Structure 1
């Protein structure tokens, strides 16, 4: 957090994704722990495919529904880059719902983010298909998840809060074991560069103690197949709960993934487009400002 992929023409990003095989260079002996299994897959120019869904509910009604899908490039240190496309299937502001439903693609590299797709078309000059964001507007590479289990520190912290393990049935045809537990929101925030960058997500003392419930499905190879995180925020005069759920699936572990910047001839810099320009985070933030924990 699941994908609705837009058909985009003139894509200049060099993307290579190929299925992993038993003879790939990163073939490893069977891992002893889930963290070991992840570590074995942190190989240069390899990665995974992800699909995510984020929903925000209030009084039993879904107010917001965000879907995205794409690929993530990994390396020895963790996430290197990501290429995802997402859209709002449901948006709380009905006047903006049609616009926010337009797909937007985000190619997030280490020092810049390139965006494209119908959501940005009205801002693009003729002959350009990508907008480059840098600095505070650039995205941290990775899928839209609350807990980044592709980061070793975050994954280790999550696994340390495991309370139950049991058979998890099949996820996309793969037999799994289901791990469940809960982790403090303050711990999640402390370990997440993504949340630290998003306005409104820094917790106060009370919010830091809020428990994030989680369910993690692991295959026999101990690699993650699905992660669901859930937490609730009390708001309003009646202290109604805003329920936040992020559901992410992981597949094609060990696939070859190489993401590079689009051709310079098809890119326009955000600074050359003036002020009437969507922030790159509008379609890639997990939660809009109206769902801020401090609201």
Structure 2
């Protein structure tokens, strides 16, 4: 009888295993991203960043815009920023980045420009960057590191932490070094069923001495993957190079590429 019962138990167990629904493996975010790199296609973002100094709320800034893809990644972006007056020189109201240049308009960037000029052009700013979000998920190498370093994966959300040096190595192949390089960035990367990024939340803390202890928290949402996108540079007669403005110009001579750059630059 014991043998019969044991046999029934094994048969029942096998039947339950066979009947159990199969769970598909999570989609690879890196592969999902690369599939989006199609000329003329892109994605929109909505971003909110909050900064606290010594535990007290200091400022909130918001950004929105569009990114245009090519065959190997982001080739252009068009972003609008709503930042506090204190950040006016590092968070321009409008930035179009294309062809290795950024065209900036509004606020401190539109003061006393030559007649007929509406934009100031700056060289060498990354098209995939936003003002506040330090992590560029449009870079496959960076996205790969975020997935690999996640300490937990639940409900399509990867949570983990990495240093500025680790982020710089994944992004540019080199480290920052010093105090900045040791800053730890905590992140929560949420993806949909196709592996495409829905939201990225990140935060970092650093003690700047007499300036206070800063804590930055940024949430970026990614909307409409695969949408048709068109981004063009302003007409040539409407912009002037920053280097041609002269020493007496009050327009910033360079752009900050991140929230840390805004504080330290």
1: CA distance, partners of 2:216 / 2:184: 12
Task: Tell me the secondary structure at the aligned position of residue 70 of structure 1.
Answer: strand
1:265 aligns with 2:237: yes
Aligned to 1:140: 126
2:62 aligned residue (55, 59, 67) = 67
Instruction: For residue 63 of structure 1, report the CA deviation from its aligned partner.
Output: 2.4
Q: Displacement, 1:224?
A: 0.6
Match of 1:56 among 51, 55, 64: 51
| Residue of structure 1 equivalent to 2:81 | 86
Are 1:190 and 2:169 counterparts? yes
Residue of structure 1 equivalent to 2:17: none
Secondary structure at the residue paired with 1:157? helix
Task: Report the CA distance between 1:182 and its aligned residue.
Answer: 1.4
Secondary structure of the equivalent of 1:154? Answer: helix
Between the two proteins, the alignment pairs up a number of residues equal to 237
Aligned partners of 1:31 and 1:37 also within 8 Å: no
What is the CA-CA distance between 1:209 and the residue it aligns to?
4.3
CA distance, structure 1, for counterparts of residue 208 and residue 91 of structure 2? 30
Q: Which residues of structure 1 form unaligned runs of 5+?
A: 1-29, 92-96, 168-176
Q: Give the Cα–Cα distance (whole angstroms) in 2 for the partners of residues 45 and 120 of structure 1.
A: 29
For residue 125 of structure 1, give the secondary structure of its aligned residue in structure 2. coil
TM-score, reference length from structure 1? 0.70
Whole-angstrom CA distance in 1 between matches of 2:89 and 2:83: 6
Residue by residue over 1:186-206, the C-alpha shift from the partner in whole angstroms, topping out at 9 and shown as x without a partner, is 11122335x98xxxx9331x6
Describe the shift of the 1:286–1:152 C-alpha distance in structure 2 as closer, same or farther (beyond 3 A). same
Select 2:99's aligned residue among 110, 115, 135: 110
Aligned to 2:112: 123
Change in 2 beyond 3 A, CA 1:112/1:230? same
Q: Which has the larger radius of gyration?
A: 2
CA RMSD of aligned residues (A): 3.0
Q: Which has the higher helix share?
A: 2
